[in-house]
């Protein structure tokens, strides 16, 4: 076995970058640590500006041929990648669970099948992508989507492969070449994706994977003049740095950022349903950008809602995410755990009450927490915690509920529980959010636009919106005159 290969549950993973169809090692490595038990999985090639330049050069060299590849052939290769993912769902699942601590059963049943679906969906959407021609004073307008060029995709650690392929699949389908930079805390499945793509026949240089820290390789990627698109999912502060870096070259950006989403529970709601939706916000140990972390509950049902919530949350099992019965695993990293606990302890010191939780457990596990007696302008209500920490506030009127829901700098999502369809229509029309769920949560379709308002992001992706971002749209206007020498 190569010195650059590590194994996770018998799965061999190359720790080097994938650049121009070849494995490339860096002079230094960084440790990849499992949040399950704090053990070091292995050393990962630590990229610098040199590897960034090489990856962009490879993507630039491969772009003309890939852009000229027919839609049908691009779609065929994307389906072949999906086939490769489906053949390795078990391997990808155990590797990703080891790397980021999310539930193994969720990876097997939902997340990794969704990875394959990402490729299939955008392959199929590509083949039907069109805009009907239209006339202007006898002239014909024809809209087309031209591949934009090398694209840098910077992806997060909370759902590494699924969120990476949510970007990689449409970028490749659009005819762009890609430089994928996974989060340094969860690099492993991106390396496996490079192998799967190569086995599926994706030409060398079309997909490149580089690893490392944002300050060492990320800045070099986002400031590169040959990069024509940048898509990033992560924190607001990092997004601001990326935007500054990209500004010099006017590189278009797509930013999917944080959230502080509300769950509005009205007195006319099915309380059992509302409680189920509320407990679901602990999914992935609270490390979900879309999570409705702020419960806004009508005063008349707040006591009963809280009683049922505490009972339901008490049935959750926290522990090793590889266990079939586990509901909540660890948080990703000691730094993140420190951040989560800091939010809670400062809130309690300011007068908040921990109805459940409010403390660390052994290792990198944090007890599912619900805080009450929190002020609207408090840090824990206004800022994204990104852990299993929820707050509960009450409201007296519909107008107050909407005001509280919209009173943060974010606008990623919102969830509404009500038994009145007219109220649902009134309230959802007033909520500032990219996605609103009524009496449900986390139902997502790749046909729908996805993104956030305010500090939750810039732009929308999904369906044709993804192609609008990854392409240069062209309108060709043709006069009916001038064909006199033809035919």
Per-residue pLDDT tens digits for 134-167: 999 999 999 999 999 999 999 999 999 999 999 9
* Active-site residue, from 184, 256, 384, 461: 256
Q: Which of 96, 216, 289, 298 is catalytic?
A: 289
Both 284 and 371 in one domain: the answer is yes
Q: Is beta strand 292-298 parallel, antiparallel or unpaired with respect to 353-356?
A: unpaired
**Could you tell me if 407 and 359 lie in one domain?**
yes
Residue 202 located in a structural domain? yes
> What is the chain's mean pLDDT, rounded?
96
Res. 483 pLDDT band, cuts 50 70 90: confident
Same domain flag for 188 and 75: yes
Residues 319 and 385 in one domain: yes
From start to end of 56-95, where are the E strands?
none
> For the segment 42-77, what is each residue's pLDDT rounded down to a tens digit?
999 999 999 999 999 999 999 999 999 999 999 999
For residues 438-461, give the mean pLDDT: 94
Q: What pLDDT was estimated at residue 485? A: 66
Backbone angles phi, psi at 327, to 5 degrees: -105, -30
pLDDT tens digits for 416-429? 999 999 999 999 99
For residue 271, give its domain range: 261-438
Task: Name which of 216, 230, 211 is nearest 18 in CA terms.
Answer: 211
The domain tally of the chain equals 2
**Nearest one of 432, 444, 392, 440 to 416, comparing CA atoms:** 440
Of 366, 414, 372, whose CA–CA distance to 388 is shortest? 366
Give percent above pLDDT 90 in the chain: 97
Cα distances from 335 to residues 183, 338, 443, 469, in angstroms, run 14, 5, 31, 34
Residues 394 and 305 in one domain: yes
- Is 206 a member of any domain? yes
Q: For tokens 């490149």, name the residue.
A: 208
Categorize the per-residue pLDDT at 481 as very low, low, confident or very high, splitting at 50, 70 and 90: confident
The reply to whether 179 and 278 lie within a common domain is: no
Q: Are residues 362 and 411 in the same domain?
A: yes
Of 380, 353, 357, 381, the closest CA to residue 368 belongs to 357
Q: Is the pLDDT of residue 413 over 70?
A: yes
Residue 486 within a domain: no
DSSP for 441-469, please give it: -----TTS-B--SGGGEES-BSHHHHHHH
Q: Domain containing 302 — which CATH number?
A: 3.40.309.10
2 has pLDDT over 80 = no
Pair 373, 267 in one domain: yes
CB atoms inside a 10 Å sphere around CB 70: 9
**Distance between CA atoms of residues 390 and 402, nearest Å:** 18
- List 134's β-bridge partners, or say none: 141
Q: What is the pLDDT of residue 134?
A: 96
Residues 295 and 252 occupy one common structural domain: no
Q: How many CA atoms lie within 13 A of 193 on its CB side?
A: 32
Indicate whether this model's pTM tops 0.85.
Answer: yes
pLDDT grade, residue 1 (50/70/90)? low
Q: Report the CATH number that the domain containing residue 171 is assigned in CATH.
A: 3.40.605.10
SS in 3 state form for 249-317? CCCCEEEECCCCEEEEECCCCCHHHHHHHHHHHHHHHHCCCCCEEEEEEEHHHHHHHHHHHHHHHCCCC
Structure tokens belonging to residue 467: 């192609």
Q: Sign of the C-alpha dihedral, residues 36, 39, 41, 43? A: positive
Whether residues 225 and 294 share a domain: the answer is no
* Residue 482 binned pLDDT confidence (cut-offs 50, 70, 90): confident
For residue 37, which of 355, 402, 334 has the smallest C-alpha distance? 334
Q: Is 471 a catalytic residue?
A: no
256 is catalytic: yes
pLDDT tens for 244-278 read 999 999 999 999 999 999 999 999 999 999 999 99
Q: Is residue 446 part of a domain?
A: no
Segment 157-185 mean pLDDT: 97
Give the model's pLDDT for residue 3.
Answer: 87
Distances (CA, A) of 456 to 167, 273, 321, 344: 17, 27, 29, 23
The pLDDT score that the predictor gives to residue 486 is: 63
> What average pLDDT score do residues 342-353 get?
98
Q: Does residue 43 contact residue 31 with C-beta atoms inside 8 Å?
A: yes
Order of all β-strands in the sheet with 151-154: 22-24, 17-19, 207-209, 178-181, 151-154, 229-233, 253-256, 457-458
In this structure, are 20 and 75 located in the same domain? yes
């Amino acid at each position: 076995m190569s010195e650059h290969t590590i194994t996770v549950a018998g799965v061999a993973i190359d720790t080097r970058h994938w650049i121009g169809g070849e494995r490339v090692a860096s002079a230094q490595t960084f440790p990849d640590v499992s949040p399950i038990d704090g053990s070091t999985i292995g050393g990962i090639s630590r990229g610098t500006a040199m590897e960034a330049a090489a990856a962009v050069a490879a993507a630039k060299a491969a772009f003309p041929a890939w852009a000229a590849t027919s839609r049908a052939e691009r779609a065929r290769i994307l389906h072949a990648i999906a086939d490769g993912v489906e053949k390795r769902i078990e391997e990808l699942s155990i590797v990703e669970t080891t790397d980021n601590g999310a539930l193994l059963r969720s990876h097997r049943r939902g997340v990794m099948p969704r990875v394959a679906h990402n490729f299939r969906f955008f392959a199929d959407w590509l083949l039907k992508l069109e805009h009907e021609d239209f006339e202007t004073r006898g002239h014909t307008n024809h809209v087309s989507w031209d591949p934009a060029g090398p694209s840098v995709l910077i992806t997060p650690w909370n759902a590494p492969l699924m969120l990476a392929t949510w970007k990689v699949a449409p970028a490749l389908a659009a005819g762009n070449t890609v430089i994928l930079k996974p989060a340094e805390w969860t690099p492993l499945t991106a390396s496996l994706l490079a192998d799967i793509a190569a086995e599926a026949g994706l030409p060398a240089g079309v997909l490149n994977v580089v690893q490392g820290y944002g300050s060492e390789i990320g800045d070099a990627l986002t400031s590169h003049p040959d990069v024509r698109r940048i898509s990033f999912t992560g924190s607001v502060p990092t997004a601001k740095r990326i935007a500054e870096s990209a500004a010099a070259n006017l590189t278009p950006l797509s930013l999917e950022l944080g959230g502080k989403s509300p769950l509005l529970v009205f007195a006319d709601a099915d309380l059992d349903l509302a409680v189920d939706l509320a407990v679901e916000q602990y999914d992935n140990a609270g490390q979900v950008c879309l999570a409705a972390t702020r419960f806004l509950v009508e005063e008349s049902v707040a006591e009963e809602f809280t009683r049922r919530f505490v009972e339901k949350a008490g049935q959750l099992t926290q522990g090793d995410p590889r266990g079939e019965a586990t509901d909540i695993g660890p948080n990703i990293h000691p730094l993140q755990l420190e951040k989560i606990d800091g939010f809670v302890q400062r809130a309690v010191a300011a007068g908040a009450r921990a109805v459940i939780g409010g403390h660390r457990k052994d290792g990198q596990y944090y007890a599912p927490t619900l805080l009450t007696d929190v002020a609207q302008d408090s840090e824990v209500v206004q800022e994204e915690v990104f852990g299993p920490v929820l707050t509960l506030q009450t409201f007296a009127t519909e107008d107050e509920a909407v005001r509280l829901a919209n009173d943060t700098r974010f606008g990623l999502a919102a969830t509404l529980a009500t038994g009145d369809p007219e109220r649902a229509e009134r309230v959802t029309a007033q909520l500032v959010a990219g996605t609103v769920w009524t009496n449900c949560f986390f139902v997502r379709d790749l046909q729908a636009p996805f993104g956030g308002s305010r500090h939750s992001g810039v732009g929308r992706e999904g369906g044709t919106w993804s192609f609008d971002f990854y392409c240069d749209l062209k309108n060709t206007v043709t006069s009916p005159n001038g064909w006199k020498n033809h035919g």
